[in-house]
């Protein structure tokens, strides 16, 4: 659909169903926050079902909820650089170079602080239990989250050869279809709500493969499949997709998992890290 989504909802308000009006009222009152919510959280907050939200989106001529969030983000106040303007860390073209540096620093610190607050030692311990006992650990994700999966694979590869990274979604599906319950999936998905993710999760569930999920949304679709959920901080707008601040929280989680993993057998992993470091040293001039 073309035009401002909020104006269109206002025009259609009197023709909406009772649940549609209830949802619209919540959106008008919480416009800025709604674009950051998962569909399950919006359903809980507004008091309507997820199915009602999906029907609401379709009635507006949108393909689904993610399309609605993007339209809402575009309709809300944004800076001249295209980012949402409701955050003190938002950068505009009027900022000095020094101001840009300080705002980016603040957003990354915020991401780290929020991730630390969300960190649960018991969940990390459960995740490391699974990683320690697995035959293979598949580090997976799509889009920007695929980059984070590669970061995890690269980090853990300095201590163990059991970590595997596959970037292509088709090859991910093929490998998981041949994996066993002795393997583990370490899955990265900030939104926890993508089609490729659900495809992989369904295959993994059918084969009883344990899943460790790193996401921002504890009630996302991906969370329904996960055995362990680790939450990263920072509210990322649909217009900020792939922001570094959102990745910083995930990198912090990778480091936490890595060092707790190495603590389980310090001598073995210290030797492995020494061997890999020596191998890389030979590559340097």
- Which pair of tokens denotes residue 144? 């920007």
Residue 133's domain comprises 120-281
The Cα–Cα gap between 187 and 82 comes to 30
Asked if residue 55 and residue 131 are part of one domain, the reply reads no
143 assigned to some structural domain: yes
- Which pair of tokens denotes residue 261? 């993993």
83 assigned to some structural domain: no
**Of 75, 103, 133, which residue is a domain's last?**
75
- What is the reported pLDDT for 122? 97
Asked if residue 209 and residue 270 are part of one domain, the reply reads yes
Q: What is the mean pLDDT of the chain?
A: 89
Asked if residue 138 and residue 67 are part of one domain, the reply reads no
The Cα–Cα gap between 162 and 160 comes to 5
**Of 60, 75, 90, which residue is a domain's last?**
75
Asked if residue 125 and residue 59 are part of one domain, the reply reads no
Per residue in 59-80, pLDDT (tens digit) is 888 888 888 888 887 776 666 5
| Low-confidence residues in the chain, pLDDT < 50 | none
The runs of H, that is alpha helices, within 76-96 are: none
Q: Domains in the chain: how many in total? A: 2
CA-closest candidate to residue 235, choices 45, 73, 42, 37 = 37
Query: Tell me, what CATH number does 150's domain have?
Result: 3.40.50.10490
Asked if residue 48 and residue 145 are part of one domain, the reply reads no
The H or E element that residue 111 is part of is helix 97-118
């Amino acid at each position: 659909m073309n035009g401002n989504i909020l104006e269109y909802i206002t025009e259609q308000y009197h023709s909406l169903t009772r649940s549609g009006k209830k949802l619209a009222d919540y959106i008008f009152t919480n416009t800025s926050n709604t674009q950051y919510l998962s569909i399950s959280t919006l359903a809980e907050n507004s008091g309507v079902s997820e199915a009602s939200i999906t029907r609401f989106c379709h009635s507006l001529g949108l393909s689904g909820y993610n399309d609605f969030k993007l339209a809402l983000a575009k309709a809300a106040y944004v800076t001249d650089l295209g980012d949402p303007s409701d955050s003190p860390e938002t950068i505009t073209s009027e900022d000095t170079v020094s101001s840009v540096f300080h705002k980016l620093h603040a957003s990354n610190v915020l991401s780290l602080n929020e991730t630390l607050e969300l960190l649960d030692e018991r969940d990390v311990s459960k995740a490391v239990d699974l990683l320690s006992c697995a035959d293979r650990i598949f580090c997976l994700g799509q889009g920007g989250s695929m980059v984070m999966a590669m970061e995890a694979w690269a980090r853990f590869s300095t201590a163990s050869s059991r970590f595997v990274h596959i970037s292509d979604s088709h090859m991910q599906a093929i490998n998981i279809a041949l994996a066993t319950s002795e393997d583990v999936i370490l899955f990265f998905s900030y939104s926890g709500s993508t089609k490729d993710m659900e495809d992989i999760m369904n295959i993994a569930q059918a084969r009883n493969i344990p899943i460790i999920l790193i996401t921002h949304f504890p009630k996302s679709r991906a969370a329904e499949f996960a055995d362990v959920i680790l939450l990263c901080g920072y509210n990322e707008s649909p217009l900020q997709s792939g922001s570094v601040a959102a990745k910083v929280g995930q990198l912090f989680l990778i480091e936490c998992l890595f060092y707790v993993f190495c603590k389980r057998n310090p001598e073995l992993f210290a030797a492995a890290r020494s061997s890999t470091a020596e191998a890389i040293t030979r590559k340097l001039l």
